[in-house]
Amino acid sequence: MSRAIDKLPKGWGGLTSDFGSDQKTFKGMSWGKAMMWIFLLSDTFIFSCFLISYLTGRASTTASWPDTSVVFGLDVFGTSVPLLLIAIMTFVLISSSGTMALAVKYGYERNRKLCAIFLLLTALGGAAFVGMQAFEWTKLILVEGLRPWENPMGAVQFGSFFFMITGFHGTHVTVGVIFLLIMARKTWRGDFDTARRGYFTTMKSNYVAIEIMGLYWHFVDLVWVFIFAFFYLW
Amino acid sequence: MAQYKNKKFKTHKIGIYLWIWGLLFVFSFFSYMVDYLNFEGTLRWTLIVFFMISKAALIMAIFMHLFWERYALVNVLLWPMTLMLLFVWIMVAESEYTLLTRVFYFILGV
């Protein structure tokens, strides 16, 4: 099977010829996928601004920054394990990224059932992540007395950056879980095999939607990699 | 689309995804160990950034299929992201100056 895209120049030559070509730049790509990438790029800027403002706040304060490995530690049978909750959350989110990658693979192989099952597993991982985050927030607000404007453990800025950054990320995860559930239902019902028209968009369903969903979900995991490194470990 | 109904696309073998999944687990475990073993200073920061970039690169290249995309998309995405480093550098300089003035006025009380 030879596709038109395979005849186009590749690499750096492809870059110039794609940008110099007629009609569209991103060859062989659905508009939905290209737009998801553009959206993710703009989301990258938002999260970068949050993390950079956190950097500025933390580096310029004269007050002491709370020790995150103690603040986010968990008591296991009487011994305090540093940062345990965050480590578990990280592993859960990475696992859901793994199941999402498999869902995308099975989507392109037109394997309806496995694709839907892996989408559901991904949603389950995401929901578990949000649940643990809710637990973390509850503990910090009710037990430690952390507020966006107040922090009994040290620098005041810690509270506002914590709620802003993890809250914005948690919102992304929550939205992702909702869409994963919708996609799982559509997949299971066979929308992508029968090209059933979407309720809101009235456009024919296509398995490329699973790949676009996957891009969003991997991005959520990607952002967590940076939050984990800069906010929790640094 | 309807004409694609029974057409299967060429996909990657499952092994590559499981490998990357495993590697992400290993890198996450190592970065957690950086905290668990209480590494301090430059060693800590270097290791954190190394594991962070390794994980981000694996997710973007393999899970998000960027490795197989055309250069038009790859370049549109990666250059603006790289430029954020300049922003980081500017704000590091700015916050160092703010800290200096705070120490000067708050603590020395000049």
CATH code of the domain in which A193 resides: 1.20.120.80
pLDDT tens digits, A40-82: 999 999 999 999 999 999 999 988 899 888 888 888 887 788 8
Percent with pLDDT over 70 in chain A: 99
Cα–Cα distance, A122 to B17 (Å, whole number): 15
Cα–Cα distance, B102 to A75 (Å, whole number): 38
Number of structural domains (chain A) is 1
In sequence order, what are the residues at sequence separation of 6 or more whose Cβ sits closer than 8 angstroms to the Cβ of residue B12?
Answer: A105
For A109, the closest of B11, B35, B55 (CB atoms) is B11
**A7 interfacial to chain B (CB closer than 8 Å):** no
- A23 falls within a domain: no
Q: Are residues B72 and A26, on separate chains, in Cβ contact within 8 Å? A: yes
Report the C-alpha dihedral over residues A44, A47, A53, A56, rounded to 10 degrees. -70
Which of A129, A130, A127, A153 lies closest to A140, judged by CA? A153
- A65 falls within a domain: yes
| pLDDT of the residue at B2 | 42
Tokens of A69: 């490995």
Instruction: Please say whether the beta carbons of A209 and A192 come within 8 A.
Output: yes
Cα–Cα distance, A191 to A204 (Å, whole number): 9
Cα–Cα distance, B82 to B86 (Å, whole number): 8
- Coil vs helix vs strand at A204: strand
In sequence order, what are the residues at sequence separation of 6 or more whose Cβ sits closer than 8 angstroms to the Cβ of residue A35?
Answer: none
Residue B1 in this model has a pLDDT that exceeds 60:
no
- A1 falls within a domain: no
Domain boundaries, chain B: 12-68, 71-110
| pLDDT of the residue at A52 | 97
Cα–Cα distance, B48 to A229 (Å, whole number): 6
pLDDT tens digits, B10-68: 678 899 999 999 999 999 999 999 999 989 899 999 999 999 999 999 999 999 999 99
Q: Kindly identify which residue of chain B lies nearest to residue A25, measuring between CA atoms.
A: B72
Q: What domain range includes position A39? A: 31-233
On chain B, the residues whose CB falls within 8 A of the CB of A34 are 73
Opening angle at CA A151, ends A147 and A153, nearest 5: 140
Q: Are residues B35 and A98, on separate chains, in Cβ contact within 8 Å? A: no
Cα–Cα distance, A72 to A86 (Å, whole number): 7
Q: What's the mean per-residue pLDDT of chain A?
A: 92
| Half-sphere exposure in the Cβ direction for B90 (13 Å, CA) | 8
Maximal C-alpha separation, chain B: 78
Cα–Cα distance, B51 to B103 (Å, whole number): 34
In sequence order, what are the residues at sequence separation of 6 or more whose Cβ sits closer than 8 angstroms to the Cβ of residue A219?
Answer: A40, A43, B64
Residues A30-41 have a mean pLDDT of: 95
Residue B110 in this model has a pLDDT that exceeds 70:
no
Cα–Cα distance, A234 to B49 (Å, whole number): 9
| pLDDT of the residue at A187 | 95
| pLDDT of the residue at B3 | 43
Q: List, in sequence order, the alpha helices (H) in A5-83.
A: 11-19, 31-60, 68-71
pLDDT tens digits, A146-197: 999 999 988 999 999 999 999 999 999 999 999 999 999 999 999 998 999 9
Cα–Cα distance, A212 to B54 (Å, whole number): 23
Residue B7 in this model has a pLDDT that exceeds 60:
no
On chain B, the residues whose CB falls within 8 A of the CB of A228 are 28, 31, 52
- A81 falls within a domain: yes
